[in-house]
Structures are given as structure tokens and as C-alpha cells.
Chain A
Amino acid sequence: MLLEAQGIVKLFGGFRAVDGADLSLNRGEIVGLIGPNGAGKSTFFNCLAGDLRPNAGRIVFDGHDLTLATPEAHARRGLARTWQVPVVFAEMAVRDNVMVGAFLRHPQARAARRKADEVLEFTGLAAQADAPAGSLGTLGRKRLEIARALATEPSLLLLDEALAGLNATETQVAIDLVRGIHARGVTLIIVEHVMSVILSLAQRAVVFNQGHVIAAGAPQAVIEDEAVIEAYLGKRFRRPVP
């Protein structure tokens, strides 16, 4: 078991954004987190990454209790994340952005640079290495976020809508990138709206609605689940038989 989250509750005032959600994850899995807007999946995700402190519940990652640990402690333990809206260091060069991540395991600048260049090559950003990160478009920024996170050499990578807002070609390139990351031995949790992405990438899908996990299992089975269809579309409308 790489990650075990039990009974996670997150309150915003009186609103129970996440209300007793569980998730356990084996090493080497790709798990998709899906659900309609406002279902609480991003909040849950932020609790896992240490950016929000859950009000109740317990998160154990790789044998360490990280329930109330800081984001930087998560990174040190090998749990990296990207953001839905990229937060790259716009004034720094692309390579320097990645080096910030690489410094976590390689305190010497030369080693960090070598690691950064390797990750840039892998993520297809090598050509833009010297450009300021602020000059990248959305696609490039999302890719840079993934590169930065990879440079911290995580065992678990959380991708928050890394593929949102991409066109069909870009999505395919991104899917290949995620597969490549998985092939390097990184376990992944992906939050995604685009169902086709979940279907082609995830081995398991976990569906959120109103702060609860309402279904979990193989993606194809999950999307045919009555409760899931109802959460997304409402109750099936029965056409009156003429």
C-alpha cells in the first residue's frame, strides 16, 4: 500500500466539502479521480498533497503519517503535485524552474542541472530550456509543472486537471507523457473532467459526489454505474411510450 487515506473530512465553514472520503492506492497504479464540479475532488486532492489540512481522518503515505504535514514535507517524502492553474515561476528560465525541483534530491547545482536537463528532455521541453517560463503558453506551463514535479523524484504524482483545456492532438501527446511517467515507475492520481482520458489512462476510477466516494472500480464499469450517471446527468428521463 503506497497511500492510505481514511475518513477524510474537510469543512469550509459549515460546508462539508469532503465528507468522510477513503482512498487506498497500490504502488504502480494509475487512479482517476472524477466527479461533477463541486464534488469535492479537488479539495480531497489538496488534502492528500498537504495544501489543505483535513478536519478529520488520517493519511498514511509510504509508512509515514502525513495527515497534518506541510507541503514541503510531502515533497520530501516523495509525493509531488501539479496545479489546476499552473503556478510556474514566470521570471525564471524553464530550466531554472525545473532545477528548483531537482535541488530537493541534489543539493549541488551541477547535479541539479543534470537532473533538470534529463527531465526537460523527457518531457519535451529541452528546446525551451533557456526561455523564461512566463513566455510559455498553457500547454507549455502544464508540461513545465509536470517536469518540475518529476524533478523532485516522486514515487506518487498527483495531477490536477493537467489535461484540461487541451485540444485533441495536445491531449494525445499529454496522454503519452503520462504513460511515459508511469513507465518510469511513478504511481499517479489524476483528477480529470475529460472522461476519455480516464478511460484510456486509469486502471481504476474513483467517483466523487457531494464530498463522498460514490463508486470505485474499473473505469468502464464505473461510468455505467447508475449512481454515477445520476450524479452527472440527474435521473434518467423516461420517455412516455406513445
Chain B
Amino acid sequence: MKKRHLLFVVLGILVLAWPLVLHGVFIQHVAALLVLAAISASAWNIVGGYGGQVSIGHAMFFGAGAYGALAAYTDFGWPPVAGVPLGIIAALLIAVLVGLPTFRLQGHYFSMATIAAVELLRILLSNVSVLGASVGLMGPARPRGLADLSFRSPVPYYYLFLAVLALLLVVTAWMERSRLGFYLRAIRGGERGARSLGVPVVRTKLIALMISAGFTALAGGLYALMVGFIDPESGFGLLISVKMVIIAALGGAGTLWGPLVGAAILIPLEESTNALFGGSGTGATYVVYGAIIVLISRFLPGGIAELVQLLSVKARRRAA
């Protein structure tokens, strides 16, 4: 146990202090994106991992958050950060409207319904002119003041994202030990058995989806703050949803650290393939995602968390 604590302290110091040493903008940018992806994937993990409700439509919450931030600027002239709560409220509304009817579906049917919902929203949005229609929305080109949270360097964003990620991990860790976490895992284990033990299935799923949607929207808002641009594809696109699922599944869905591990592997990989082959989020990225999906589902359905568990069990057996 002592050794493990030491490992966490060293990792913590590394995570907090490396930008003071390394000054390359590319690596700083990748690090900020990595933490952001870890936030989305951890948020997805609450309902998709612990609850086993594999949503492939979480971009609807991400997009809502991002649009909330930039619509507040474009339409009202507020600093984007003031629009983030609006985006979160919109995401919570969407969660209830989409969750209540789709939670009656199970397994792949639920996943397909979430895809349909997010695509519908994307197409609707492409026709709403106050939200920029298919052109999208821009943030302030030049910061009007500190409240715009517009920085040249990715480092301030990195620390901001890190704080949000820490909050989300605390919420998830609390949930894991609470009744909500047990009920979610029971629902994943089988709804019939869960209901016979008095688990209110729909209410539990809905609460989990709302927590999940709120944090995903927050991630979307933070993305909009940093990038300063959002359009239907980068907010509500299918790849945004798929990315959350892959990151969580790669690291280990339904575990606290899985999405972080997944993000730490996938985001640098994605950014390097983008840099090597050109294009952003097209071509090579899809190939990488496809390969990861195939490999995980064939060899390691529990993700890297399962691998670590298998190895530690083996090591303990060898020691015994």
C-alpha cells in the first residue's frame, strides 16, 4: 500500500509540474486535449461503463456544452465561460428527453437509439441560424479581458481541465462506493435480477445519465473555450461520441482509472497520426479507431484494466 501511495504522489507531481520543464507547444496542446478527452470519457463511463448503458450519442451533451459557451458570446456578447452553465442545463434537458424513452431499450438497441438521437440533433442544429447553422460559432477572436479565458498557450487550459477532471474523479469515486454505484453495476449485471431486489431501474439510469451528461457538457464547454470554434460536426459528430466509448473501453469501462489510461494512450496516438499523415480527425484516425475496436472486442473486452488485473493475479499466484 505504501508503495502505491508513493507512486500516486510521484505521478501527481509529474502531471502538475511537467509544463514548467517542457515548453513545446505541440506537446502542451496534446496534453490539454488528453485531459479534456479524459473528462469526456470519464463522464461517459458513469452511465456507459458502470451502468452498462452503451451510449454512442454522448456528443449530444458535448455539443450542447460547446454551443452553450459560444452562443452566449455570439448572441449575447457574454464571455464564453458564462455560457457553460447554459450548455449544461441544455444537456440535462436533453438527457431527460432522450433518456426516458430510450431507457426502455436494451443492449444494442439502446446504442442505436442514441445514435439516432444525436444525428437528429446535429441535422436540426445545422438549420438553426442563431446557432450558426452549418457554419458554426466562433469565440472572441481577441480576448476582451480575463473573463474571456482566451490564452495563447495551452498551459492555462491544461490546468483548468485538470481541476475539472479531479472534481469528476472525486464524484466518480464517491459514486463507486455509494448505493448509486452498486445499483448501476447491478443494472449492468441484469435488469431482471436488479428489479427483484428493489432497484428502481429507470430512475437510477436517469440519475446516472444526468450526472454523465452534465460533465460531458462541461467538457464540451471547456473545449469551446480553448478552441474558440464549434460547428455541428465538431460538436455533435459521430466521431466525438465514438471517441468517448473507445477511450473508456480501451482503458477499462466501469473502472475509475480506465478512461484516464485510455486517453493517455489514444490521444497522443491520434495527434501523432494526424501530424504524420496530415488532415485532422479523418483518414488515418478512423483506421486507428477501427483497429482498436477490433482488438479490444476480440482480445480484451475489459480493456487495459482487465489486463492489469490478470497480470496482478498471476504475479500473486507466482509469489504464493
Contact = CB atoms under 8 A, between A and B. Distances in A.
Given A71-B196, A149-B197, A112 B179 contact: yes
A100 B177 contact: no
Contacts of A87: 190, 192-193
A72 B195 contact: yes
Nearest to A103: B179
Nearest to A90: B189
Most chain-B CB neighbours within 10 Å: which of A92, A100, A101, A152?
Answer: A100
B189 A91 contact: yes
A206 interface: no
Interface in A43-83: 49, 51, 70-72, 74-76, 80-81, 83
Interface string B180-196: 00110110111011111
A43 B45 CA distance: 38
Contact of B178 (A80, A90, A109): A109
Q: Top 3 nearest A-B pairs by Cβ distance?
A: A89-B189, A75-B198, A87-B193
A76 B198 contact: yes
A228 B195 CA distance: 35
A91 B161 CA distance: 32
Contacts of A88: 189, 193
A117 interface: no
A74 B200 CA distance: 12
B182 A96 contact: yes
B199 interface: yes
Nearest to B186: A100
Contacts of A99: 182
A51 B182 contact: no
A81 B186 CA distance: 16
Contacts of A72: 195-196, 198-201
A41 interface: no
Given A96-B182, A103-B182, A109-B177, A91 B196 contact: no
A63 to B, nearest CB: 19
Contacts of A71: 192, 195-196
Nearest to B177: A109
A75 B183 CA distance: 14
Most chain-A CB neighbours within 10 Å: which of B177, B183, B198, B200?
Answer: B198
A132 to B, nearest CB: 11
30 contacts: A51-B192, A71-B192, A72-B198, A72-B200, A72-B201, A74-B196, A75-B197, A76-B198, A80-B196, A83-B196, A87-B190, A89-B185, A89-B186, A89-B190, A89-B193, A89-B194, A90-B189, A91-B185, A92-B185, A92-B186, A97-B186, A100-B186, A100-B194, A101-B198, A103-B182, A103-B183, A107-B179, A112-B179, A148-B197, A149-B196
Most chain-B CB neighbours within 10 Å: which of A71, A83, A91, A97?
Answer: A71
Given A87-B192, A89-B190, A109-B178, A101 B185 contact: no
Nearest to A134: B189
Most chain-A CB neighbours within 10 Å: which of B190, B193, B195, B197?
Answer: B197
B188 to A, nearest CB: 7
Contacts of B196: 49, 51, 71-72, 74-75, 80-81, 83, 149
Given A99-B182, A100-B183, A109-B177, A91 B197 contact: no
A125 B171 CA distance: 32
Contacts of B195: 70-72, 75
Nearest to A108: B179
A177 interface: no
Contacts of B182: 96, 99-100, 103, 109, 112
Nearest to A78: B198
Contacts of A51: 192, 196
A96 B200 CA distance: 17
A1 B192 CA distance: 28
B4 to A, nearest CB: 19
A141 B302 CA distance: 23
A88 B185 CA distance: 12
A74 to B, nearest CB: 8
Contacts of B193: 83, 87-89, 148
Interface string B60-77: 000000000000000000
